[in-house]
Amino acid sequence: MLRSAPARILIVDDDADIRANLCDILEMFGYEPSSVGTSGEALRFPSLSSVSVILLDRRLPDLRAEEALPLLRELVPETDVVIVTGHADLDSTISALRLGASDYLLKPINPEALRISIERCLEGRRLRNEKQRTEAVFRQLVESAGSVITITRPDHSIVYLNPFAESLLRSLDGLDRSQRGIAARIDPADRERALAAFGRVLNGDELHDFEFSVASRSGERRWLLCNARRLDDFEGGPAVLLVGHDITARRDAEQDLKLLNAAIANLEEGVLLTRIEDSWLESQVVYVNAALCRMMRCEPNEIIDNGPRLFIDLLANSSLLAQIDATLIAGSSFTGECLARRKDGTGFPIELHLSPVTDATGRRTHVVSTIRDITERRAGEERLLRSERLAAIGKAMTGLAHESRNALQRAQASLDLLAIDLEGNDQATKLIKRIQVAQGDLHRLYEDVREYARPLRIEPRRHRIDELLREAWDELILQRAGRETSLTEVIETDDLLCHVEAFAIKQVFHNLLDNSLAACAQESHITVTWGEVDWHGGSALWVSIRDNGPGVSMEQRARMFEEFFTTKTRGTGLGLAISRRIIEGHDGCISVGDPGHPGLEMIIILPRRPDLAATALAVEK
């Protein structure tokens, strides 16, 4: 540790013996003494500025202490002067102290009193220097602070502004240190609250984390977060010290974040924010928007607690999930389609888009996922595919019907003639009848395909749907002959009227009832339930047709509405495909019911007014 140099002491006395004695004493105490005999020599001392304490005799030949003191104070204002006198003259001592003397000693000088006086002067000098350094550091901190620092009188006039505060006020239409300095800049919406807080601080309360805004005449606003306290005595009077941070950027960012959250919350697509994990399926959910909750029919906390595994079908998407994880680990975005499952167990297709989110250092921290229900898009794609298929079938049928009609007629005429010629030959007659039946089946196939391919024309009128069902049941009398059959209706609605194309809807019922009769064994019992549902914002009739047959497999359920797919030994496989076209032509839907019950259930939803349902559906799309 470096030792400080000894303090320099200058002795000013016209008595050489006194000077010599004092030098010995001061050296013994560890000081560095110097001596001169007159005030003039003291004023001309070469290293006067390095002297810490001057011992000044009151009565010198050239100048008295009262005359020399002002001159010394002017040359070395920081140096302490101790008056040495042989007379305990109170008036002269007071006069010397008033002129700036730090202390006085009586002759003969007591060494211990001399040491104490000098140490007192040196300690005072050290404290003054320390105070100056502290004040300099504090002022530097205040002047360079990136915060608003002000001292304000009770009348709101400004006593002190640091440079940052000055810059802020200048940006708000100029600087005004008058009574209206800051108070005039407070936003009118915050002024009453801010002035009330100012009053509480003047009464002695401390203010913490108080937010208010200041505004320019042009409307620019700056937000401040402030602490304030009362200063009881600042330059002769009470004042308020205020330290504030400009939080405008933070408030703007918070406002932008609110707008972003509102936009995300109102998106039609689901949005999911998760933390980066080894597996996206197991990642922790940070945020979920309302659209995703509506899509999955569950509460936000259910998704947050369970993560993506709550709604992603694991069995149907195992390979896709591995691809998602590999893509995210590589830092890339993923887009794909998969099967989702709602809380009630119903499955539907979704489109996933996943993108990694990075922080300021470039480290991947989260994954943002957008999820879109593509049920309607898939249905549109299927309708387009069916339309293209129908166009191809229709084109082929035009040529086929033209070429085959005459051939079938000639074959039928030849078979009729052959039957006359072979009348009485039972074996030959049986073969001819079998050929005629096969020819009839071929003709029916042509007719079914032609019917399926022709454009669907729907001209709805108001009808009782249950009457159309019973008419279709009556037309199946041949299929029911010789069997125990029953048709039971369960009515759960008061209104069975609906705007439909009667012939087309009766054809649908005919196809469904015919399929049920064909699927059942000797006893065939069919239950029809009529109900009411909401369909795209409007009223719709709900129809369930359930038989007591063996039902169908999962594979058959998936293919039931495909063209030419059938589980019957006879038929073209177009009945359900045609039925779906008719129902969708009424802006309704037909589907296979819950497999958890015996037999097969077919469900039809028919809007009361197809034109209104179509409009609502178009708006939703």
pLDDT 10s digits, 292-310:
988 888 898 988 888 888 7
**With bands split at pLDDT 50, 70 and 90, how would you rate the model's confidence at 323?**
confident
Tell me: do 56 and 27 sit in the same domain.
yes
- Cα separation of 76 and 57, whole Å? 18
- pLDDT, residue 615, reads 40
Least confident of 158-167, 305-314, 363-372, 388-397: 388-397
For residues 567 and 606, give the distance between their C-alpha atoms in angstroms, rounded to a whole number: 26
Residue 72 belongs to a domain: yes
Q: Are 156 and 207 contained in the same domain?
A: yes
- Of 56, 63, 114, 112, which Cα lies nearest the Cα of 85? 56
Name the band, by pLDDT with cuts 50, 70 and 90, for residue 614: very low
- 348 with 383, same domain? no
> Residue 531 pLDDT more than 90?
yes
Which residue reads 């069919």 in tokens?
Answer: 526
In a domain, 110, yes or no: yes
pLDDT at 139 over 90: no
In a shared domain, residues 363 and 331: yes
Model confidence at 554, in pLDDT bands (50, 70, 90)? confident
Specify the pLDDT at position 613: 42
DSSP letter, residue 289: -
Same domain, 237 and 224: yes
Residue numbers of the domain that contains 316 = 269-373
Higher per-residue confidence, 555 vs 123: 123
Tell which residue, 562, 561, 456, has the closest CA to residue 503: 456
Bridge-based pairing of strands 334-341 and 347-358 is antiparallel
515 within domain boundaries: yes
Q: Report the Cα 412 to chain-centroid distance in Å.
A: 75
Whether 536 and 444 map to the same domain: the answer is no
| Domain match, 469 and 610 both | yes
Model confidence at 449, in pLDDT bands (50, 70, 90)?
low
Pick 613 or 431 by higher pLDDT.
431
Q: Based on the fold, state whether residues 466 and 612 are members of the same structural domain.
A: yes
* 58 and 17 assigned to the same domain: yes
The model's pLDDT over 178-190, given as tens digits with 9 standing for 90+, comes to 434 566 678 788 8
Greatest CA separation for the chain: 177
**Sheet order of strands, 32-36 included:** 32-36, 8-12, 53-57, 80-85, 103-106
**Cα–Cα distance measured from residue 193 to residue 587, given in angstroms and rounded to the nearest whole number:** 60
Report yes or no on whether pTM surpasses 0.75: no
What average pLDDT score do residues 200-204 get?
Answer: 92
Q: Which of 500, 458, 509 is nearest to 607 (CA)?
A: 500
95: alpha, beta or left? (left if phi > 0; alpha if psi -120 to 50)? alpha
From CA 103, how far away is CA 51, in angstroms rounded?
16
pLDDT at 571: 57
The mean pLDDT value for 357-368 works out to 86
| Residue 454 reports pLDDT greater than 70 | no
Q: What is the CATH number of the domain that holds 332?
A: 3.30.450.20
Question: What number of other Cβ atoms are within 10 A of residue 285's Cβ?
Answer: 19
Cβ atoms of residues 513 and 547 within 8 Å:
no
Closest CA to 280 of 351, 329, 315: 329
Give yes or no for residue 112 having a pLDDT over 60: yes
The number of distinct structural domains making up the chain is 5
- Establish if 258 belongs to a structural domain: no
